């Protein structure tokens, strides 16, 4: 089976060895709770709640996302297991209602599940009063959270006070570097390899940036917005004690200088988006971004390609990017709360995730010998270095997660663009960005947002 072009759901081609930690007290309490009664079988519980046909509603914010895409990855597997359960997708896509979340709320639609990740938790759930802590359902069904990687649980607890769980993870987004073998062959340069530093990557980029036959070949491009929010240096965006932005920091200076230097190579200008130049025109030698975000384009690439691990900073050997964890949040408006929770739990189950892994998507749960399953149902992935999307160690998330994270990250991205294009030096760009972000935060606080 060849997977469809999955849009935002494709982010799960990402990560296995997720290092991290969870609150030991919480783990102890959860373990104690589970020993007091046997775990209720999720499949049995779903069957009990779906003796008659029943429909759940799910909101996905990707405008390119369709019901067919959902069914190909999740819906068909669910229908096969639970024929009485159907899931209706709502999204901005015209084939799935063509309405955004606010429009659906105003029209009175009572959603059961809302897919969120990172800052969208605040814009979709908290701002609309739709967040719903499912800790009571975790206890009710004695649901074992230890199946998830510790870093995933830490991420999930970063919302709220650190104790709440607002949904069940269905994927993990991480980062890898894709490369065009044809360009390296053209200029007689060795291919990238796993375990490279950014310095080594920079030297490779210099060697494959050429104007040749009237075509400008670009050595390196990146999705800076994704790299910022999942930065390998674990640099936060906000000081929780002072509520001040943390932009004018040494880590951000290191981060910006690292990537900006690539675009100071003559001929390797920064592109607003590299997808066309990389995947359609075949002019980009190396590109870094969300592994899943690039996944869509690889199937039709008109050149030989492969992938390697995200290069690392020399002071943090083999440390990959931080996490973004998409999860199915239970909406406060759901009238089928238990079933919505259980279906989300089943999607995160080992049998279900093994099937998803065969399509090249890596689960947020622990699965033995996962690398032997990855992509085995996809002919185009045969022989590819898929394990490159599996960092040996993930960077700690830039906690605290908060509703202003995306806003502040935007100012970091602007500072980066100014430095990469030569408009400002890094010190001026960071200082200006922090001043603007601080002003915006004060305005938001004054407005009560």
Q: Is the pLDDT of residue 247 over 70?
A: yes
Residue 179 zone, left/alpha/beta (φ > 0; ψ -120 to 50; rest): beta
Q: What is the reported pLDDT for 4?
A: 39
353 Cβ partners below 8 Å, 6+ apart?
A: 347, 363, 365, 367
Please provide the average confidence, as pLDDT, over all residues in the chain. 86
Give the model confidence (pLDDT) of 112-138 as tens digits: 999 998 878 988 999 899 999 999 999
> CA angle, corner 145, sides to 140 and 141, nearest 5?
15
pLDDT level of residue 31 (50, 70, 90 thresholds): very low
pLDDT tens for residues 271-319?
999 999 999 999 999 999 876 666 667 878 999 999 999 999 998 887 8
Summarised one tens digit per residue, pLDDT across range 200-222 is: 999 999 999 999 999 999 999 99
CA 19 to each of CA 81, 142, 155, 182, 310: distance values in angstroms, whole numbers, following the listed order: 33, 25, 12, 35, 16
Determine the straight-line distance between the first and last CA of the chain, rounded to whole angstroms: 47
pLDDT above 90 covers a percentage of the chain that reads 59
Q: Crossing angle for the helix pair 405-420 and 250-260, nearest 10 degrees?
A: 50
Quote the CA–CA distance of 125 and 122 in Å, as a whole number: 5
Q: Which of 41-50, 359-368, 412-421 has the lowest mean pLDDT?
A: 359-368
pLDDT at 439: 95
Please state whether the peptide bond connecting residue 80 to the residue before it is cis, i.e. omega within 30 degrees of 0. no
For the cut 70, the answer to whether the pLDDT of residue 69 exceeds it is yes
pLDDT tens-digit series, residues 171-197: 887 788 999 999 999 999 999 999 999
Q: For residue 219, what is the enclosing H or E element?
A: strand 215-222
pTM for the whole structure = 0.84
Question: What domains lie within the chain, and their CATH numbers?
Answer: 7-173+324-389 (3.40.190.10), 175-321+404-446 (3.40.190.10)
Q: Is the pLDDT of residue 28 over 60?
A: no
- In the beta sheet, which residues pair with residue 179? 286, 306
Measure Cα distances from 331 to 113, 128, 308 in Å: 6, 10, 38
Q: CB under 8 Å, gap of 24 or more: what pairs does 348-352 form? A: 348/147, 348/148, 348/168, 348/169, 348/170, 349/42, 350/147, 352/77
Reported as a pLDDT band with limits 50, 70 and 90, residue 398 is low
């Amino acid at each position: 089976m060849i997977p469809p072009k999955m849009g935002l759901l494709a982010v799960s081609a990402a990560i296995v060895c997720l290092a991290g930690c969870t609150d030991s007290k919480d783990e102890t309490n959860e373990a104690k709770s589970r020993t007091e009664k046997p775990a209720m079988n999720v499949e049995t519980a779903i069957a009990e709640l779906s003796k008659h046909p029943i429909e759940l509603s799910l909101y996905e914010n990707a405008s390119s996302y369709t019901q067919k895409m959902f069914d190909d990855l999740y819906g068909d597997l669910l229908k096969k297991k639970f024929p009485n359960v159907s899931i209706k997708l709502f999204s901005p896509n015209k084939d799935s209602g063509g309405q955004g979340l606010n429009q659906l709320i105003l029209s009175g639609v009572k959603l059961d599940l809302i897919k969120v990740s990172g800052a969208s938790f605040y814009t979709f759930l908290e701002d609309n009063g739709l967040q719903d802590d499912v800790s009571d359902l975790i206890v009710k069904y004695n649901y074992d959270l230890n199946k998830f990687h510790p870093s995933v649980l830490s991420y999930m607890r970063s919302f709220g006070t650190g104790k709440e769980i607002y949904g069940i993870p269905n994927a993990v987004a991480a980062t890898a570097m894709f490369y065009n073998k044809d360009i390296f062959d053209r200029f007689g340069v060795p291919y990238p390899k796993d375990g490279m530093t950014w310095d080594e990557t920079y030297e490779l980029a210099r060697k494959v940036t050429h104007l040749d036959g009237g075509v400008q070949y670009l050595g390196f491009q990146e999705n800076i917005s994704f790299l910022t929010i999942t930065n390998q240096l674990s640099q936060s965006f906000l000081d929780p004690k002072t509520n001040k932005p943390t932009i004018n920091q040494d880590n951000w200076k290191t981060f910006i200088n690292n990537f900006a230097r690539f675009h100071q190579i003559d001929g390797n200008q920064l592109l607003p988006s590299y997808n066309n130049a990389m995947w359609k025109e075949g002019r980009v030698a190396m590109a870094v971004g969300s592994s899943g975000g690039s996944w869509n384009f690889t199937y039709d690439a008109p050149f030989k390609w492969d992938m390697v691990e995200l290069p690392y900073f020399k002071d943090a050997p083999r440390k990959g990017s931080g996490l973004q964890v998409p999860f199915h949040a239970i909406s406060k408006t759901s009238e089928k709360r238990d079933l919505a929770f259980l279906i989300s739990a089943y999607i995160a189950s080992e049998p279900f995730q093994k099937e998803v892994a065969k399509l090249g998507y890596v689960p947020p749960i622990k699965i033995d010998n996962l690398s032997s399953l990855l992509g085995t149902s996809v002919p185009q992935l045969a022989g590819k270095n898929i394990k490159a999307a599996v960092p040996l160690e993930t960077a700690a998330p830039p906690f605290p997660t908060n509703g202003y994270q995306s806003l502040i990250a935007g100012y970091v991205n602007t500072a980066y663009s100014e430095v990469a294009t030569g408009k400002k030096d890094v010190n001026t760009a960071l200082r200006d960005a922090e001043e603007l972000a601080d002003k915006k935060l004060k305005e938001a606080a004054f407005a009560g947002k």
